[in-house]
C-alpha cells in the first residue's frame, strides 16, 4: 500500500475556493484510479472538513513543525495545482518551500503539478524556491510565463512540463436536487458570470456600473438568461457573492445568484451554458474543457497571466480584456463577436480537448515514474463529447460590387442605398429620443448640446446626461446600446472594413454617435477632414458610415463634400478643420456636392474626404447615426489604450507591445493619485463644512446667551428707574 502527502490551497466553508478544491479533487481522483489502495494525507486549513469531503487523512495547513512528523510513513509528496507561488502569497510560498526541502532531505520523491509561478517573486523568494524546485522529480506548469520563470530558477528542462490546468479533466456531476429548481424555469441560452469581491468595492464602482449595463445589453441582444456563479465563498465580505449582489443591484435584467457549488457540479453547470464571462480563472478552465466560448476579465498582471494561460492552452487567447477596457465599454461588442464565432470556437475547443486527453495518459505515466511507481496499465478514459454545431458563420460576400468600389475609390464616398426599413427607423428614432430625454441611460455616453449656429461656441461634450431636451448636437458612445450596436455590426460593414484594413485584422470602433441638427437650429460645421493629431491616435481611421434617420436635404443641413478630395491626403496634422487658404484652394462652389438622403439611406465616407454641413432651416430635425471603424491595433497616443473591438478577436496590448506596461502602470498611478487628491480635497471641504456648522451653532448659542442676559438685565433697569 502506498501513501502520498498532498498539499493544495484548500480549506473549509469559511475559506472555500472552488478552483483550488477542483484541482485537488482532480488529482486525488486520478491518483486513486491509477494507484491501487493508495492512502492520502492532505494539508488543509480545515482538516476535519477536508477529511470528511475527500475521505482522506488530513493535517493542519500551514504545516506545523516538525514537518517530518507529517511526512512519517509517506512514500512521496505531491504539490497540487495552484497560483500561489507568487509574492502575493508569501505564506504559501514559504510553506511549499519548507515541505519540499524536508521531503527531499528524507529522499522522498516530490512532484509539482499544474502550477503558476509568479509573475512576481521577491528576490529572497526566488533564491529560496530555486533549490527545492530544481530537485523536484517533476515540475508541471500551466502557462508559458511560468515555464520561463521555472527555467530561470534552474529547473532542468527534462523535468519541466507544460500541461492543462489540473481541473481541466474533472468529470462533471449533474445537480438534480432543489438547487437546480431555479434553473429549470430559466430560459436558455445561459450566460454564466463570475466576479471577485474587488468588483463590489468603491475602487471598481465605475467598472461595475458599465459592466452591469453591458451585461444588460448582452442579455437583450441574445435573449439570454444571466446566472452569477460564485467560485469563492466564506466569511461575509470575503466571497464572490458580494460582487454578485452589487452587480444585480445595478442591472435591469434578472440575474440569478447561486450559492457556491462543489467543483464537479460547477463543471456540469458550465457545460449547460452558452457563454462564460469571468474575472476568475477557473470558470475559464471549465469553459474551455466543456467547449463553451468564454470571455475573461483581468484586473492586474497576475490575473492577466492566469487568464491568458487558461485561454491560450485551448487556442482562444484573444478573448480576454482588462477591467479598464470593460469600463470603456469594450465588453458588449467583443461578447457579441464571440457569440457570432461560437461554432468555430467550439470546434477549436473540441480539437484542443482531443489533444489534451490523448496526452494525459502519457503525462500521468511520467508522474507515476517520478513518484517511483509503475505506470498505469489500465486504459485512459475517453474525452468528453463536445457538441459542435454546424458552422453558420459563412457570411455573404460581395455585398458591394467591384464597380461600386471603383466609384468609392474615385469619389471618396459611396451611396449604400436603403439600410433601414420603416420599423427599424421608428425604433431607432424612439431610442435616440429616449436617450436625449433621459429615459434610456448608459454610463459610457458623452453628450454635447447644440449651439444653434456657431461652431466656435460649441460646449465640450460631457459624460452622462445633461438634461431632458431634444437639442443635443452629438451623442457619443452609442455602441453601448444593443439596437444601435446591431446596426453598426452588420455584415456590410464587416466587408467594408475587411476591404480597407485586411480580412484578418481586428476592427475597433473609434466612436458611434448621433449627429443631430434640431428643428430650426443646428450648428454650422466647417470644411474639415476626420483625422489628424487632434484625434490623438497613432494612425488615422479610414472608414466612416453615415445613416440618415430623417430626410437629409440642402435645407436641413445634409452633408456636403468635395468628390475625390480624399486623394489630397491629410492637409493638416495639427487639426481637422481646414485653413481659409485650403478652403479657397480646394473647396470652390462649383465642386461642392450635396449628399441628400432619404430616411434609412446610408453613406460610406473616406475619413480624408473634405466635407461640411450647414444649419437646419426646417421644422423637422436632421438626425443621423455615424460610426468610425479603424484598425483594431490603433492606440490612443495619450493613454496607450486601444478601442472596443467590434469585428475579430481582441489582441492583448501589453503582450503585443510590452513597453506599454510601463505607460499604463504610470497612468494608473496618476489616476490613483488624482483620486486620492480628490478624496482628500473632499474631506477638507467636509471638514470646512463641519467647522462652518460649528461656527454658526456657536453664533446661535452666543446670541441666545445674549438674549438671556438682556432678559435678566431688563427687570434691574426697571427697578432703578422707579
**Does 694 or 289 have the greater pLDDT score?**
289
As a CATH number, domain 402-658 is 2.60.120.620
Tell me: the pLDDT tens digits for 293-313? 999 999 998 899 899 888 888
> In 128-206, which ranges are E strands?
138-141, 160-162, 190-194
Per-residue model confidence (pLDDT) at position 668: 67
* The two domains 3-167 and 178-340 share their CATH topology (first three levels equal): yes
What number is the average pLDDT over the span 230-256?
Answer: 89
Residue pair 9/84 in contact by the 8 Å Cβ criterion:
yes
Tell me: the pLDDT tens digits for 365-378? 999 999 999 876 66
What number is the average pLDDT over the span 398-423?
Answer: 96
Tell me: the pLDDT tens digits for 328-354? 999 999 999 999 999 999 999 999 999
Tell me: the pLDDT tens digits for 673-695? 777 788 888 888 888 888 888 88
Q: Quote the cell numbers at residue 379.
A: 486504459
Per-residue model confidence (pLDDT) at position 486: 97
**Structure-derived torsion over alpha carbons of residues 138, 144, 149, 152, reported in degrees to the nearest 10:** 80
Q: Quote the cell numbers at residue 217.
A: 445589453
Tell me: the pLDDT tens digits for 629-676? 999 999 998 888 889 999 988 776 655 555 555 656 666 677 777 777
Residue 267 has pLDDT above 60, yes or no: yes
Per-residue model confidence (pLDDT) at position 658: 55
C-alpha 318: how far from chain center: 12
Per-residue model confidence (pLDDT) at position 656: 58
pLDDT band for position 394 (50/70/90)? low
Q: Quote the cell numbers at residue 279.
A: 474575472
Per-residue model confidence (pLDDT) at position 81: 87
| Averaged pLDDT score across all residues of the chain | 91
Task: Identify the bridge partners of residue 575 per DSSP, sorted by sequence position.
Answer: none
3-state secondary structure of 554: coil
Residue pair 532/570 in contact by the 8 Å Cβ criterion:
yes
Q: Quote the cell numbers at residue 688.
A: 470646512
**Does 532 or 481 have the greater pLDDT score?**
481
DSSP string covering 54-72: HTSEEEESSPPSPHHHHTT
Q: How far is CA 360 from CA 80, 235, 356, 373, 445, in A?
A: 16, 37, 6, 17, 49
152-161, 233-242, 418-427, 550-559: least confident range: 233-242
What number is the average pLDDT over the span 552-562?
Answer: 97
Tell me: the pLDDT tens digits for 143-173? 999 999 999 999 999 999 999 999 999 999 9
Q: How far is CA 690 from CA 340, 681, 684, in A?
A: 56, 14, 10
Residue 628 has pLDDT above 60, yes or no: yes
**Maximum Cα–Cα distance for the chain, whole Å?**
124
Buried b (16+ CB within 10 A) or exposed e, 524-541: bbebbbbbbeebebeebb
List the domain boundaries for the chain.
3-167, 178-340, 402-658, 667-722
Residue pair 264/293 in contact by the 8 Å Cβ criterion:
no
**Residue 480 DSSP label:** G
CA distance 493 to 505: 14
pLDDT band for position 451 (50/70/90)? confident
As a CATH number, domain 178-340 is 3.40.50.2000
Residue 433 has pLDDT above 60, yes or no: yes
**Does 379 or 279 have the greater pLDDT score?**
279
Per-residue model confidence (pLDDT) at position 681: 84
Fold for 3-167, please state it: Rossmann fold (3.40.50)
pLDDT band for position 706 (50/70/90)? confident
What number is the average pLDDT over the span 577-606?
Answer: 97
Residue pair 436/472 in contact by the 8 Å Cβ criterion:
yes
Choose from 433-437, 537-541, 652-656 the range with maximum mean pLDDT.
433-437
Residue 177 has pLDDT above 80, yes or no: yes
CA distance 631 to 563: 24
CA distance 543 to 20: 48
Buried b (16+ CB within 10 A) or exposed e, 658-694: eebeebbeebeeeeeeeeeeeeeeeeeeeeeeeeeee
Residue 60 has pLDDT above 60, yes or no: yes
The 10 Å Cβ neighbour count of residue 486 is 12
The 10 Å Cβ neighbour count of residue 706 is 10
What number is the average pLDDT over the span 98-118?
Answer: 95
**Residue 123 burial (C-beta neighbours within 10 Å; 0-12, 13-18, 19+):** exposed
Per-residue model confidence (pLDDT) at position 250: 97
What number is the average pLDDT over the span 185-193?
Answer: 96
CA distance 529 to 561: 10
**Does 544 or 504 have the greater pLDDT score?**
544
pLDDT band for position 702 (50/70/90)? confident
151-160, 355-364, 385-394: least confident range: 385-394
pLDDT band for position 384 (50/70/90)? confident
Amino acid at each position: 500500500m502506498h501513501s502520498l502527502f498532498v498539499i493544495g490551497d484548500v480549506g473549509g466553508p469559511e475559506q472555500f475556493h472552488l478552483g483550488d478544491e477542483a484541482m485537488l479533487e482532480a488529482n486525488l481522483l486520478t491518483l486513486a484510479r491509477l494507484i491501487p489502495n493508495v492512502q492520502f494525507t492532505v494539508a488543509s486549513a480545515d482538516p476535519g472538513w477536508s477529511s470528511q469531503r475527500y475521505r482522506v487523512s488530513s493535517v493542519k495547513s500551514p504545516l506545523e513543525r516538525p514537518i517530518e512528523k507529517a511526512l512519517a510513513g509517506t512514500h512521496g509528496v505531491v504539490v497540487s495545482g495552484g497560483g500561489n507561488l507568487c509574492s502575493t502569497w508569501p505564506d504559501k510560498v514559504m510553506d511549499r518551500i519548507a515541505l519540499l526541502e524536508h521531503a527531499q532531505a528524507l529522499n522522498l520523491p516530490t512532484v509539482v503539478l499544474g502550477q503558476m509561478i509568479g509573475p512576481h517573486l521577491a528576490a529572497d523568494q526566488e533564491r529560496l524556491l530555486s533549490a527545492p524546485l530544481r530537485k523536484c522529480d517533476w515540475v508541471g506548469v500551466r502557462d508559458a510565463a511560468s515555464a520561463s520563470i521555472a527555467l530561470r530558477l534552474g529547473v532542468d528542462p527534462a523535468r519541466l512540463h507544460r500541461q492543462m490546468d489540473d481541473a481541466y479533466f474533472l468529470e462533471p456531476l449533474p445537480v438534480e436536487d432543489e438547487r437546480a429548481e431555479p434553473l429549470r424555469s430559466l430560459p436558455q441560452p445561459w450566460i454564466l458570470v463570475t466576479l471577485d469581491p474587488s468588483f463590489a468595492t468603491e475602487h471598481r464602482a465605475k467598472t461595475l456600473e458599465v459592466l452591469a449595463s453591458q451585461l444588460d445589453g448582452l442579455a437583450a441582444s441574445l435573449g439570454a438568461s444571466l446566472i452569477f456563479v460564485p467560485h469563492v465563498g466564506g466569511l461575509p465580505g470575503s466571497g464572490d457573492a458580494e460582487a454578485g449582489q452589487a452587480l444585480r443591484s445595478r442591472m435591469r435584467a434578472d440575474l440569478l445568484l447561486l450559492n457556491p457549488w462543489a467543483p464537479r457540479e460547477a463543471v456540469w453547470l458550465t457545460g449547460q451554458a452558452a457563454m462564460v464571462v469571468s474575472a476568475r480563472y477557473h470558470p475559464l478552465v471549465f469553459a474551455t474543457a466543456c467547449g463553451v466560448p468564454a470571455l475573461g476579465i483581468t484586473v492586474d498582471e497576475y490575473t492577466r497571466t492566469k487568464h491568458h494561460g487558461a485561454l491560450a492552452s485551448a487556442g482562444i487567447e484573444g478573448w480576454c480584456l482588462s477591467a479598464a477596457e470593460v469600463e470603456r465599454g469594450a465588453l458588449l461588442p467583443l461578447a457579441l463577436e464571440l457569440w457570432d464565432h461560437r461554432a468555430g470556437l467550439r470546434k477549436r475547443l473540441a480539437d484542443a480537448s482531443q489533444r489534451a486527453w490523448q496526452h494525459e495518459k502519457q503525462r500521468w505515466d511520467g508522474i507515476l515514474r517520478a513518484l517511483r511507481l509503475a505506470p498505469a496499465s489500465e486504459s485512459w478514459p475517453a474525452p468528453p463529447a463536445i457538441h459542435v454545431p454546424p458552422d453558420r458563420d459563412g457570411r455573404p460576400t460581395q455585398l458591394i460590387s467591384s464597380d461600386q468600389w471603383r466609384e468609392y475609390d474615385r469619389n471618396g464616398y459611396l451611396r449604400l442605398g436603403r439600410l433601414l426599413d420603416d420599423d427599424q427607423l421608428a425604433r431607432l428614432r424612439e431610442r435616440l429620443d429616449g436617450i436625449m430625454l433621459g429615459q434610456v441611460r448608459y454610463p459610457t455616453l458623452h453628450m454635447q448640446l447644440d449651439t444653434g449656429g456657431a461652431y466656435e461656441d460649441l460646449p465640450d461634450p460631457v459624460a452622462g446626461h445633461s438634461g431632458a431636451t431634444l437639442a443635443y448636437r452629438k451623442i457619443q458612445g452609442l455602441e453601448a446600446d444593443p439596437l444601435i450596436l446591431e446596426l453598426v455590426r452588420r455584415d456590410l460593414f464587416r466587408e467594408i472594413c475587411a476591404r480597407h484594413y485586411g480580412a484578418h485584422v481586428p476592427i475597433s470602433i473609434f466612436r458611434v454617435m448621433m449627429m443631430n441638427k434640431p428643428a430650426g437650429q443646428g450648428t454650422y460645421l466647417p470644411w474639415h477632414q476626420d483625422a489628424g493629431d487632434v484625434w490623438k491616435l497613432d494612425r488615422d481611421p479610414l472608414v466612416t458610415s453615415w445613416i440618415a434617420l430623417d430626410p437629409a436635404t440642402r435645407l436641413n443641413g445634409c452633408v456636403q463634400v468635395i468628390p475625390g478630395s480624399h486623394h489630397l491626403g491629410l492637409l493638416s496634422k495639427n487639426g481637422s478643420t481646414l485653413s481659409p487658404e485650403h478652403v479657397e484652394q480646394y473647396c470652390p462652389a462649383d465642386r461642392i456636392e450635396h449628399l441628400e438622403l432619404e430616411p434609412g439611406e446610408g453613406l460610406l465616407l473616406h475619413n480624408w474626404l473634405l466635407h461640411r454641413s450647414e444649419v437646419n432651416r426646417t421644422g423637422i430635425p436632421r438626425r443621423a447615426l455615424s460610426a468610425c471603424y479603424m484598425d483594431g491595433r490603433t492606440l490612443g497616443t495619450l493613454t496607450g489604450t486601444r478601442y472596443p473591438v467590434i469585428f475579430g478577436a481582441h489582441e492583448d496590448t501589453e503582450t503585443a507591445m510590452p513597453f506599454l506596461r510601463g505607460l499604463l502602470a504610470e497612468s494608473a498611478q496618476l489616476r490613483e493619485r488624482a483620486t486620492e487628491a480628490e478624496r482628500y480635497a473632499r474631506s477638507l471641504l467636509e471638514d470646512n463644512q463641519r467647522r462652518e456648522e460649528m461656527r454658526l451653532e456657536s453664533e446661535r448659542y452666543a446670541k441666545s446667551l445674549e438674549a438671556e442676559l438682556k432678559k435678566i438685565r431688563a427687570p434691574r433697569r426697571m427697578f432703578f428707574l422707579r
